Amino acid sequence: LKDLPGAVEECVEDRDTFVGNACKKARHYARLGNCLALADDSGLCVDALNGDPGVFSARYAGVSGPGADVANNAKLLAAIKEVPPEKRAARFVCAAALALPAADLAVFVEEMEGRIIDMPRGENGFGYDPLFLLPDRGKTTAELAMDEKSAVSHRGKAVRKLIAWLRAN
């Protein structure tokens, strides 16, 4: 986006699905730049919260900018405080969309399964990473090195599928 000439009008994420937001953003930026554009929409879905925060993950607590991650994590912990640990299944979801100015080309959706813990752990990553435990690894995504996280993450999986699609098409 920083390479596009002039001021870039931000795309409003007002769809009710990750796919809807990703496609809207990809087409928006493809039109602005008159080019091929890749966009994603990602978030956290917690089973015990009926899939929330979902598409509102980044603005779950109504805070933007500095402090948003802390506020979102605090709201999430408050919402599940009465939920037993074994019922805190959650997943990160990523929808990655590729578009031209007048056409959506491809969308890839991937997930990473885990569960929400009570106390933040780890210094890496952002957002809900310190609360998102990968039970098979015994670590939160904030405790993983970047290459380790990329190998298992929802975004990494979606982008690898997109790259394979580009090579085939």
CA–CA separation, 155 and 63 (whole Å): 24
Active-site residue, selected from the candidate residues 3, 14, 16, 41: 41
In sequence order, the β-bridge partners of residue 92 are: 44, 112
Give the DSSP letter of residue 17: S
Based on the residue annotation, tell me whether 147 is a catalytic residue of this protein.
no
Which residue matches tokens 């885990």?
114
Nearest to 140 by CA among 148, 149, 132: 132
Query: Which residue is associated with the tokens 């769809």?
Result: 15
Q: Which residues are catalytic?
A: 41
